[in-house]
Amino acid sequence: MNTPEHYDVVVFGAGVSGVPAALAAARCGVRVLLVEKTGLTGGTVTNAAVAAPAMFNAWGRQIIGGIGWELVANTLREEGKPLPDFTSLDAHDHVGSAVWINPLLFACLCDEALQKDGVELLLHSMPTNLTPTADGWQIALVTKEGIRTVTASQVVDCTGDGDVARLAEAPFQPYEECQPGTLSFCISGFNPETVDYDALGAALKEAQENGELQPGDVWWCGEHLPDSPESLAGMWRFFLGRGGMNANHVSQPDPDRPGARTAFELAGRASVLRVWRFLKRQPGFENVSFALRSSECGCRESRRIDSLQDVTAEDYRNGVRFPEMVCYSFYPLDLHDDHCGLSVERLREGVFPTVPRGALVPREVRNLVVAGRLVGSDRLANSALRIQATCMATGQAAGALAALAAQQHKTPAEVDYALLRQTLLAQGTIL
């Protein structure tokens, strides 16, 4: 029987938190394996077509740097685009402060950075079992080539859905309700200047009443369409103005329900098909064309761990500076909802929320850290912490923490915070 290959750190999920996590660990000098379920790095930037990370800025300054920003800045340079001037960006405008990048180039540069720093990347692979050992984990992986077993001193879950933490039997926050997701696609083949938006709004109302369209198919209206013709016309202006990008709501089932993710993906494509059939019958849309933009539904919320220090909405809106902070975060409390549509609560001027080390560490489980939208937080705080720039920052912190724990033969909770802070600062994190 062959001895399983050993890694100091195994990171799961090569997205906006996982790539920085793997690079942060590798730059600490440890051996790293990065496991990704798809064939593409970049996560939501590439697979869900959310190619506008936000927000790296707050109140006239940059507050999130480090490895994630390095990857974004390198993508802009590769495209020949200027870097944003953070002193001139409006912190109240979370949409305008987003940094638009080319998703394909971002993935290519993620690949390049991982190879340069010696991270072993394993695509088209998922874990099937995590067994705790005296000094880490034994992990069974399903790969394209078959079953592979490895061992790890530390594991980092950057899957977003907490798939690895669930296998490790980590505790989660009680299930409440998940924010709806979005399936982005491309709409073309019509002239927006000749569209009769009022007529289209009236047709939308009729189509929902007779069951042809469902709430959320067109824009973020919640479970009821607005009554005013102006609002109905405005929904189409937003929806068509975005060309189908990030412009619908797809209900997200309980992630623990068997087949939940499959149901989620099918619901997203069924929604697109309903809109296609509706538009093809409307005047001016005879030549409308839909094209694939994202390979999967973008998921805003699923599981959240029960961590050593959960971040609450009050912590976030008051800008609590945690003694063991690992990064800043900045985005409005931005809760998408199947019932009311969207609720946005902007932060008061001068508030700088932070994320503590304890939010990355689950209770009751040794040698495991998490990052991304999985971090310990209540539902409302998570609606802001899930944003890509923050996910990049928590990913880097988780990777560095795991590497230090592996080097010192400690658990992530036992690592000296002063050393973690020093390591993150050396890697460009803004603290």
> For 56-83, how does the pLDDT look when each residue is reduced to its tens digit (9 = 90+)?
999 999 999 999 999 999 999 999 999 9
Q: DSSP assignment of 100-149, as one string?
A: ---HHHHHHHHHHHHHHTT-EEE-S-EEEEEEEETTEEEEEEEETTEEEE
> For 274-319, how does the pLDDT look when each residue is reduced to its tens digit (9 = 90+)?
999 999 999 999 999 999 999 999 999 999 999 999 999 999 999 9
In the three-class reduction of DSSP (H, G, I as helix; E, B as strand; rest coil), residue 342 is classed as: strand
pLDDT at 214 over 80: yes
For residues 393-403, average pLDDT: 98
pLDDT at 251 over 90: yes
pLDDT reported for residue 2: 74
Residue 344 is inside which H or E element, if any?
A: strand 341-345
Distance CA 23, CA 66 (A): 11
Query: What percent of the chain clears pLDDT 90, i.e. is strictly above it?
Result: 97
Phi/psi class of residue 189: alpha, beta or left (left: φ > 0; alpha: ψ in -120 to 50)? left
For residues 92-115, average pLDDT: 96
pLDDT at 1 over 70: no
**Peptide bond between residue 325 and the one before it cis (omega within 30 degrees of 0):** no
Could you tell me where in the chain the CATH 3.50.50.60 domains are found? Answer: 5-176+302-330+352-426
pLDDT reported for residue 176: 86
- 5-176+302-330+352-426 has which CATH code? 3.50.50.60
Q: DSSP assignment of 358-378, as one string?
A: GGGSBTT-SSEEE-GGGSSB-
Amino acid letter at 279? L
For residues 392-413, average pLDDT: 98
pLDDT at 392 over 60: yes
Of 31, 177, 47, which is closest to residue 118 (Cα–Cα)? 31
As a whole number, the mean pLDDT across the chain is 96
For residues 185-205, average pLDDT: 96
Buried/exposed code over 339-364 (b: 16+ C-beta within 10 A; e: otherwise): eebeeeeebeeebbbbbbbbbbbbee
Q: Give the confidence band of 3 by pLDDT, cuts at 50, 70, 90.
A: confident
> For 322-369, how does the pLDDT look when each residue is reduced to its tens digit (9 = 90+)?
999 999 999 999 999 999 999 999 999 999 999 999 999 999 999 999
Asked whether 36 and 18 are in contact (CB, 8 A), the reply is yes
